[in-house]
């Protein structure tokens, strides 16, 4: 790890486009190191001893909530888990007021929100780091865990091809694309033309790719996207909050299911990733997620170690 942790102390994590490639690599390397130490028996680190972290959840969560609480505990910090409607936010208190009050009580905020702009406002008014635990635009903590898993399985980033199959406007697409372009991984998106990535995210990824030498390719053909891929990734067809358009999206995305036929177009040693929860029989078949390609359980475990890396690096 070539950079110093001091460079990240006090920094918000809203979207990885606001991080340098070196900072992203540092968090991945630190996560891998913390995982090795964890499995060697070093479970309690106390690097944030005496600190408190407010963890706001506007959306339901399994992996993010549990891993964040355990991560904070293992770092010696006190996690304070707060539902949106448990706070005065649920009764109409301005986000900026909540941000300023929490800044007087705790050392950091993680927030899982419906609207990314709410996260930006929270960060603008908070005097402490605000960390995105999922928004409609991005999911940076998940992607640090994802690329930890890729490195564990492949031992490198440069020269790899990652194919995302499904909704091109998905928050995971945005975060995976940005990080791939920072790490020198070729990113292929197989998605319907009506579901395009956020243009600002796409432009940022292209800029990073010019420096790292990676390629970003968008195609409507899932077979083309996955051809000779080293990593195949998908996410649910219908994200939380999209229930009103669920049937239309499922119909549009039906040809983009990751199944055995699709995986057989990837490299022989390809791995399959999914941020979970998975809707088996929709975006992925059971024989893929339970099959020899699947690395989703290692990926899920890596949420714990990636979040320890993020919290210990960002919270002063």
- Is residue 100 annotated as part of the catalytic site, yes or no? no
Residue in 63, 112, 274, 305 annotated catalytic: 112
- Is residue 303 annotated as part of the catalytic site, yes or no? yes
- Is residue 182 annotated as part of the catalytic site, yes or no? no
Cβ pair 59, 239 in contact under 8 A: no
Residue in 139, 174, 274, 305 annotated catalytic: 139
Residue in 12, 182, 235, 257 annotated catalytic: 235
Cβ pair 149, 141 in contact under 8 A: no
Residue in 63, 116, 174, 303 annotated catalytic: 303
- Is residue 142 annotated as part of the catalytic site, yes or no? yes
Decide: residue 46, CB within 10 A, 0-12 exposed, 13-18 middle, 19+ buried: exposed
- Is residue 235 annotated as part of the catalytic site, yes or no? yes
Residue in 142, 170, 186, 274 annotated catalytic: 142
Catalytically annotated residues? 112, 139, 142, 235, 275, 303
């Amino acid at each position: 790890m070539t950079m110093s942790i001091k460079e990240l102390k006090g920094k918000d994590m809203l979207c990885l486009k606001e991080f340098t490639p070196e900072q992203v690599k540092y968090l991945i390397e630190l996560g891998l190191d913390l995982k090795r130490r964890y499995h060697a028996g070093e479970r309690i680190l106390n690097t944030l001893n005496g600190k408190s972290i407010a963890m706001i959840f506007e959306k339901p969560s399994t992996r993010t909530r549990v891993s964040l609480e355990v991560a904070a505990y293992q770092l010696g910090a006190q996690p304070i888990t707060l539902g949106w409607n448990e706070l005065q936010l649920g009764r109409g208190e301005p986000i900026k007021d909540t941000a300023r009050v929490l800044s007087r009580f705790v050392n950091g905020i993680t927030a899982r929100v419906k609207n990314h702009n709410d996260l930006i406002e929270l960060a603008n008014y908070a005097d402490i780091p605000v960390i995105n635990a999922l928004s409609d635009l991005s999911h940076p903590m998940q992607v640090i865990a994802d690329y930890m898993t890729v490195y564990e399985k492949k031992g490198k980033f440069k020269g790899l091809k990652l194919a995302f199959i499904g909704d091109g406007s998905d928050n995971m697409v945005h975060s995976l694309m940005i990080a791939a372009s920072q790490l020198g991984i070729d990113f292929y998106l197989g998605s319907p033309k009506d579901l395009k990535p956020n243009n600002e995210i796409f432009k940022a990824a292209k800029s990073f790719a010019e420096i790292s030498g990676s390629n970003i390719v968008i195609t409507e053909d899932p077979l083309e996207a996955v051809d000779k891929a080293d990593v195949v990734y998908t996410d649910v067809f219908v994200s939380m909050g999209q229930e009103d358009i669920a049937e239309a999206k499922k119909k549009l995305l039906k040809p983009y299911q990751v199944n055995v036929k699709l995986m057989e177009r990837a490299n022989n040693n390809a791995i399959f990733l999914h941020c979970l929860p998975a809707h088996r029989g929709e975006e992925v078949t059971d024989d893929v997620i339970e099959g020899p390609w699947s690395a989703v359980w290692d990926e899920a475990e890596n949420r714990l170690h990636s979040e320890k890396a993020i919290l210990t690096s960002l919270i002063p």
